[in-house]
Amino acid sequence: MNFQDLNKVESYQFYLDVALRKASKKLDEKRSGLKASNIGKSKQLEQIRVELVHEYLTNALTRILVSFPSISELPMFYQQMIKNSIDFVTLKQSLGALNWANKKIKDMFRNYHSKIRNTQDITKVNSYRREFVGRISSLMKQIKQPLIFLEESRRIMKEFPTIKTSVRTVSIVGFPNVGKTTLLFRLTGSKPEINDYPFTTKGINVSYIKDGRNKIQVLDTPGTLNRFEKMNSIEKQAFLAVKYASDELVYVFDLTECYPLKDQIKLYKNLKLLKKPIIIYLSKTDILPKEAVDSFEIKGNIVKNADELKEILLKQQI
């Protein structure tokens, strides 16, 4: 799902003004070409007006409804992203309000188009037009807040990372500044910004290992992924990606103890509770004394070289 493609949701007044303006412009074009009595000409023009207003508004609301995904049909990762970022109940209610308004506009169109067609009183033609515009305006005003909420939701969803949930995915996890982004570069050749201070990854970096037809999606996750309720929004995205979109984890240990080793081990054990395969990667071994690397005692599949890790990932079949 690419949420970056969601179209901007405008205000109710914007849609109403555009609909009425387009209708008036079209009527100006049609007026001189109609050859009928005053009553016949007025009826034709006002039938065109209600049809054009109805057509523009229903098309605009339908585009919004179609552009927002059916939440229950999304991969679990994106379902959880939405539920943890947006008031899910209000989202469903807002979409429901637009669906209701769409149906009401269609009903009003049929009603007033029929009334104008069947009357022979020119004063009633003008009266029906005013009634139609007034009721449509009132109806659109009733969805003022749903439209505002949907635009706020769109802005949030637009910031979601684009992760292909159908592709085998490996997440690089561990404390900030332990070498995760550097490892991503060595595995995939991607060049995200790398700085020498903590919490440098501002979002989930996504890249790919490709070898012929073999393709692995690799995620560089920010934060410590520890204690969900205390995470910021980017860290929550990363945790959900690890939990719901990842097939395997690469846990990066920094033996220079940029962070205390006991804290790194604690996080490693917490992530093991997700019951996903984990490869341990020892970073910065080129600047460590050999005895420091050899003394590492955590049991598991341990790799010290990025090329070796890449080879292992490509050979595995999960």
Considering the domain boundaries, does residue 278 fall inside one?
yes
Is 191 found in the same domain as 133? no
Q: How sure is the predictor about 99, in pLDDT bands with cuts at 50, 70 and 90?
A: very high
Q: What is the pLDDT of residue 32?
A: 66
* Domain around 48: 3-158
Q: What is the pLDDT of residue 29?
A: 78
**pLDDT tens sequence across 137-195:** 999 999 999 999 999 999 999 988 889 988 999 999 998 888 898 899 999 987 655 44
Q: How sure is the predictor about 317, in pLDDT bands with cuts at 50, 70 and 90?
A: low
Most confidently predicted of 148-152, 200-204, 224-228, 287-291: 148-152
Q: What is the pLDDT of residue 288?
A: 74
CATH number at residue 132: 1.20.120.1190
Is 178 found in the same domain as 125? no
Q: How sure is the predictor about 241, in pLDDT bands with cuts at 50, 70 and 90?
A: very high
Tokens for 231, please give them. 């995470």
Is 145 found in the same domain as 15? yes
**pLDDT tens sequence across 4-25:** 778 899 999 999 999 999 999 9
Most confidently predicted of 12-21, 38-47, 301-310: 12-21
Kindly report each contact of residues 130-136 with a partner whose C-beta sits within 8 Å and lies 24 or more positions away, as own/partner.
Answer: 132/49, 132/50, 132/53, 132/108, 133/20, 133/53, 135/108, 136/16, 136/19, 136/53, 136/57, 136/105, 136/108
Considering the domain boundaries, does residue 163 fall inside one?
no
Among the candidates 126, 158, 190, a domain finishes at 158
Is 123 found in the same domain as 234? no
Considering the domain boundaries, does residue 164 fall inside one?
no
Is 219 found in the same domain as 103? no
Considering the domain boundaries, does residue 241 fall inside one?
yes
Percent of the chain with pLDDT over 70: 91
Tokens for 219, please give them. 């995620």
| pLDDT, average across residues 232-250 | 90
pTM of the model: 0.81
Among the candidates 158, 184, 214, a domain finishes at 158
Q: What is the pLDDT of residue 196?
A: 43
Is 261 found in the same domain as 199? yes
Among the candidates 158, 193, 227, a domain finishes at 158
CATH number at residue 273: 3.40.50.300
Is 149 found in the same domain as 177? no
* 218 contacts 208 by C-beta, under 8 angstroms: yes
3-class DSSP string for 131-180: HHHHHHHHHHHHCHHHHHHHHHHHHHHHCCCCCCCCCCEEEEECCCCCCH
**pLDDT tens sequence across 250-271:** 999 988 877 888 888 999 999 9
Q: What is the pLDDT of residue 292?
A: 67
Q: What is the pLDDT of residue 234?
A: 82
| pLDDT, average across residues 56-80 | 93
Is 177 found in the same domain as 147? no
Considering the domain boundaries, does residue 193 fall inside one?
yes
Q: How sure is the predictor about 202, in pLDDT bands with cuts at 50, 70 and 90?
A: low
Total domains in the fold of the chain: 2
Considering the domain boundaries, does residue 97 fall inside one?
yes
* 162 contacts 75 by C-beta, under 8 angstroms: no
Considering the domain boundaries, does residue 106 fall inside one?
yes
Is 251 found in the same domain as 128? no
Is 9 found in the same domain as 147? yes
Average pLDDT, the chain: 87
Q: What is the pLDDT of residue 149?
A: 98
pLDDT exceeds cutoff 60 at 36? no
Considering the domain boundaries, does residue 293 fall inside one?
yes
Is 273 found in the same domain as 173? yes
Is 187 found in the same domain as 123? no
